[in-house]
Structure 1
Amino acid sequence: MASAGLSFENPVFAAYAAYSSVVLLKMFCVTGYTTITRFRVGVFANPEDVKGNKGAKVRLDNSDVERVRRLHRNDLENIPAFLAVGLLYVMTGPSAGAALWHFRVFTAARCLHTVAYLAGVQPWRVLCFLTGLVPTLSMTVQVLMAGAL
């Protein structure tokens, strides 16, 4: 069993930190893509945002912008849960192999989910979502079992 320490000397924590950074970076890229999409289509959410942007309009119903925003919201609903339960999971002292699989599957699934969401392809989007949900639920159950009185 790996050390439960929150130190980069603990390979499980180091892996958690690395994979967490990857999904956070992915989420920040989606944020940037939202901005790029807004400028590309000339659609903004606030009146002050159209000033200085010739031809820009205030609209909340552009399908391109809304797709990226829904993707971002989906990230905001799933990535923080992974970050929180993943840190608690690290503290249970899991084996490095098991922990790596949890982190890798979640990260790969979220990255593929982003591609599927932007491309608008089903059933891949839902399959990627569910694949990412499995390791998060697994870690949650293991944290509950470790913390049970």
Structure 2
Amino acid sequence: MVDLAQLMENEVFMAFASYTTIVLSKMMFMSTATAFYRITRKVFAKPEDCASFGKGENAKKYLWVDDRVEHVGRAHLNDLENIVLFLGIGLLYSLSGPDLSTAILHFRLFVGAWIYRTLSYLLPLPQPNRALAFFFFFFGYGVTLSMAYRLLKTRLYL
């Protein structure tokens, strides 16, 4: 059984909780950003979402694809695919007793990579920032792999 008071005294777990809050807040922001782009560009994914802009054929003109909306949506989808992996592996890693400074380095690198990547998608930043953002995708993914490797190396019960 998990002792909550003991867990709250675990510095690595508390660091993980802090950085998790940052990336989850960023992910929440991405859904708001997608909605903002859809509304301001009048680009909707479903016919029923267009109803307030007219009826029938008039409403259908708002049912189309916009590069900016799709760009932000893909960034949000990428968050869903990768932040969930970070949360699961990071939680197990933080509870496995890693060195505090090593754990914080992992957490900071992941969060920094994902924030930079989001900024390069939303602003958009000029090249070579988009290329760097692509690199940071693999960098953030590598951080998660590093935590998984360290977890399996120290706590392998197969």
Runs of 4+ aligned structure 1 residues displaced above 3 Å come to 53-56
SS at match of 1:44: coil
Question: Who is 1:147 aligned against?
Answer: 155
In structure 2, C-alpha distance between the alignment counterparts of 1:122 and 1:110, rounded to whole Å: 13
Deviation at 1:90, TM superposition (A): 1.0
Deviation at 1:116, TM superposition (A): 1.5
Alignment of 1:1-149 (within 5 A): 7-53=7-53, 57-59=62-64, 61-118=65-122, 119=124, 121-149=129-157
When normalised by structure 2's length, the TM-score is: 0.84
Larger Rg, first or second structure (1 or 2): 2
- Kindly indicate whether the alpha-carbon contact (under 8 Å) linking 1:85 and 1:139 is maintained by their aligned counterparts in 2: yes
In structure 2, C-alpha distance between the alignment counterparts of 1:6 and 1:47, rounded to whole Å: 52
When normalised by structure 1's length, the TM-score is: 0.89
> Quick check: which one's helix share is greater?
2
1:69 partner amino acid: G
- Kindly indicate whether the alpha-carbon contact (under 8 Å) linking 1:6 and 1:13 is maintained by their aligned counterparts in 2: no
In structure 2, C-alpha distance between the alignment counterparts of 1:64 and 1:123, rounded to whole Å: 18
In structure 2, C-alpha distance between the alignment counterparts of 1:86 and 1:94, rounded to whole Å: 11
Deviation sequence 1:67-114 (CA, Å, 0-9, x none) = 011101111111000000000101210011111000011001100010
1:101 partner amino acid: L
1:124 partner amino acid: L
1:18 partner amino acid: S
RMSD of Structure 2 on Structure 1 (CA): 1.8
Deviation at 1:131, TM superposition (A): 2.1
In structure 2, C-alpha distance between the alignment counterparts of 1:24 and 1:43, rounded to whole Å: 26
Deviation at 1:42, TM superposition (A): 0.2
- Kindly indicate whether the alpha-carbon contact (under 8 Å) linking 1:116 and 1:125 is maintained by their aligned counterparts in 2: yes
